Chain A
């Protein structure tokens, strides 16, 4: 492994311009090397910039600063030796399996007999024999993603990029595809040298990768790097496998070392009015509080355990857990979710009492909610336009995040009966409809 890397990213930074002239930072300080024979996992939640990084490597967008190089040469636009597998397959519905696979070679203007030979070989390799003349709509999700793989492999890329390739599949199909892929990889039957896998599934990362880069959000950055030295094929029930999964949960919920201001913000995203709020419904957080309060957890839940009990992926679990933390109903630490006293009280209370507790916490710990309430209280009409708050939020975040944040605070405010919102005229008010 001491040869020169296949791929190198140095101090990569990506920001999008905002309409008001500022910029929105999504990725910062990215340093990454991919060597031959490795599968590197980019693990993180949505919004941590891992997909953005993958698109930079694929040459589909350009970094704002820093360098990306493939085999020592800078990346400008899609490179010939880098192919990508997409989350939603991205097959052309009007082309047959064969035509989909052959398209990449057509684009390279290869001779027809060669195209045919290589396409059939790729189709054969990936287990699609007999499906050559089928259209994507005739195939199941698993078979479609196999076409996605064959289409990427046929161009004989050095690097295969995979953007959550198994997340749109059901559990069983995903497992089959992963196993097949790992078999082909360890037997060296695929014409690829290195793989970068984007995922939000911790077990998937541990199962497949040699190195895992754990991403944090706001802005996207690498929190830590974990080497996986377990031999292939790996067993999910193996204690050392479980231990590694547990360790990553701890990493992802750890308080950052040092008192970095950015880190504090992430621990308690409710500190400023400009924090992005996750779209977590009252049913979800009430449900999680109840689940943690009940046996076998009795107030303190191990995250991997409760994730598998509730069949939630980290992408679903973490936003809820963090909302609880922001509202001071729970503490996240060391891979555990621990209810606070108020959290336990909430679990015991009846509906009206719950609403009272929630109202208190909402107005104390979510500055945006408090702000909306204050504005409504101060105005004689007790009414305010939604656009007013959207404008304020857009100083801190992009349009979509502002919409999402405001819609979260509307839902919570309705549950707490802190204020009312009328979608027809986009107005906040203090009156409850009769």
Chain B
């Protein structure tokens, strides 16, 4: 990849002296050195003993906020890197091996439906034992929790990309005899990148939502508060400090703005070239940070080195020659391996079932199970009702905005930002309100579930309405289609596929949010709404392992079933009937 760039540069030998450093070099230098210093400082803190955390407890003094914000961000980025690693391996394995895929893909679907908090409560003890007595163990647990909120949708997106690589591109790679390693880096990863970056952004937003839960860990007797924005907020809630909440919101806004500008904007602008289908007239995404990286010789040098390294790896990895590959393919029907694999899966399923039975049946009464199912129904009703309510509000607004390009340009980024903003920051305010006005928590806690997820409905509908072909709109105007008829026959069918996509995302997010949203505390006041979410949250606080498993299992089951029975058929129906191509 590096060849053209380097050849052009080489042809002007004293180019480097002519201008010692461009202004982009200066900016790049500051940014890079700043990052290195920050990473070093943060890493140093990992190895201090756990007891140290008690000596220097979280302080609500805003002067500490920059450090807290930095450490939280670092945790999230580490989790993102882990998710990336997971994606590139797990999804590739699932896509390449038919045998493995049969099992790995449904597994991913299940993992996706397990509420994130569930992972924390189950894994924290394990991670703490990895580095006993050190902060590192708690950090592991926290990062793993954030990882579980980021990884699944990224893996899914990459898996889908791998399965939809255009036939001719794949044949071209074969016919020029790219080794599997080279094929992976030159064809498969680039092809999957655009979708992957989009999912990374969604994952990052998802991660913020659980930052409080993942930093201020409290499962049974284990209580750890890692320095970070999440712990800061937890403490502010405990001390009923509204001002501190305000500071935290400010810090988070700033952090979100920063990584949006420094990380995601450049990424989005950069991956634009990896799109295979190029629709003309679509605005090319811009980013000042990417411009900086492209113009700065310092960063270009780094890029060249990296590219040479990638090329070097594709040379270093030994390649099987065609004859050997063919010989291997000749023994194709690996029946025995198939059987072995099947046996492994069956064994895993039996073992899993046995465990579930052992845990749930022996320790919980049928009555309890029935009760939990009832709670799940309550939560389900809440989710559907709220999605319906949000749709009533946002679909008309979204259509209105989407049909006006000017308005869409203003509203769309705001909607996306709102989706990235962790809505749980507003929870304390809501609790404050509910307590002061003595409102019914069963009703008034519910809106919190959809606070962060409703935006997916809005910005998908906006996208759908802007994609409505102008000619269709002219035609309906021409024939005098107006009012309710216009909504029924033109606008609503036109945006339906987009709306369904948004509603699916919102629904999944709301289920996840239920655990945080059905129970809320403010100082010593705890208010609770009856539902599966608060059941799991209660069980987590109590450290009741069996109830946690029961609650989480029920929630996963409900989410998977609702997806299979309701959302998926609806999605395919909308795609088939209403997708304008």
- Minimum CB–CB distance from B570 to chain A (whole Å) comes to 14
Q: Are B171 and A84 in touch, CB under 8 angstroms?
A: yes
Q: Are A76 and B326 in touch, CB under 8 angstroms?
A: yes
Q: Are B274 and A90 in touch, CB under 8 angstroms?
A: no
Q: Are B176 and A83 in touch, CB under 8 angstroms?
A: yes
A84-B175, A103-B178, A108-B177 known; A92-B169 Cβ under 8 A: yes
Complexed CA–CA distance, A33 and B7 (Å): 43
Q: Are B274 and A93 in touch, CB under 8 angstroms?
A: yes
Number of residues of chain B lying within 8 A (CB) of chain A: 34
A80-B177, A107-B182 known; A116-B168 Cβ under 8 A: no
Q: Are B3 and A98 in touch, CB under 8 angstroms?
A: yes
Residues of B within 8 A of A133 (CB): 4, 8
Chain B, Cβ-Cβ closest to A135: B273
Instruction: Check: B186 CB closer than 8 A to any chain A CB.
Output: yes
Q: Are B176 and A107 in touch, CB under 8 angstroms?
A: yes
Q: Which A residues from 272 to 298 make CB contacts under 8 A with B?
A: none
Q: Which A residues from 82 to 141 make CB contacts under 8 A with B?
A: 82-84, 86-96, 98-99, 102-104, 106-109, 112, 115-116, 132-133, 135, 137
Chain A, Cβ-Cβ closest to B326: A76
**Would you call the interface of chain B mostly helix, strand, loop, or mixed?**
helix
Complexed CA–CA distance, A155 and B186 (Å): 18
Instruction: Check: B287 CB closer than 8 A to any chain A CB.
Output: no
Complexed CA–CA distance, A82 and B177 (Å): 10
- Minimum CB–CB distance from B313 to chain A (whole Å) comes to 12
Residues of A within 8 A of B326 (CB): 76-77
Q: Scoring B residues 326 to 343 as 1 if CB is less than 8 Å from chain A, else 0, what string do you get?
A: 110000000000000000
- Minimum CB–CB distance from B572 to chain A (whole Å) comes to 13
A77-B322, A115-B3, A133-B8 known; A90-B178 Cβ under 8 A: no
Instruction: Check: B314 CB closer than 8 A to any chain A CB.
Output: yes
- Minimum CB–CB distance from A105 to chain B (whole Å) comes to 9
Q: Are B322 and A59 in touch, CB under 8 angstroms?
A: yes
Q: Scoring B residues 176 to 192 as 1 if CB is less than 8 Å from chain A, else 0, what string do you get?
A: 11110010001100100
Q: Are A93 and B278 in touch, CB under 8 angstroms?
A: yes
- Minimum CB–CB distance from B70 to chain A (whole Å) comes to 33
Q: How large is the interface on A (under 10, 10 to 19, 20 to 34, 35 or more residues)?
A: 35 or more
Q: How many residue pairs at the A-B interface have CB separations less than 8 Å?
A: 94
Complexed CA–CA distance, A80 and B323 (Å): 11
Q: Scoring A residues 45 to 83 as 1 if CB is less than 8 Å from chain B, else 0, what string do you get?
A: 000000000010011100000000000000011111011
A77-B322, A106-B314, A116-B3 known; A92-B178 Cβ under 8 A: no
Q: Are A87 and B168 in touch, CB under 8 angstroms?
A: yes
Instruction: Check: B174 CB closer than 8 A to any chain A CB.
Output: yes
Q: Scoring B residues 1 to 21 as 1 if CB is less than 8 Å from chain A, else 0, what string do you get?
A: 101100110000000000000
Q: Are A93 and B3 in touch, CB under 8 angstroms?
A: no
Complexed CA–CA distance, A92 and B185 (Å): 12
Chain A, Cβ-Cβ closest to B276: A93
- Minimum CB–CB distance from A204 to chain B (whole Å) comes to 20
Instruction: Check: B489 CB closer than 8 A to any chain A CB.
Output: no
Instruction: Check: B311 CB closer than 8 A to any chain A CB.
Output: yes
Residues of B within 8 A of A424 (CB): 577
- Minimum CB–CB distance from A152 to chain B (whole Å) comes to 9
> Which of A94, A135, A424 has most chain B Cβ within 10 Å?
A94
Q: Are B274 and A60 in touch, CB under 8 angstroms?
A: no
6 A–B contacts from the bound complex (CB under 8 Å) = A76-B326, A77-B322, A78-B176, A99-B1, A112-B3, A116-B3
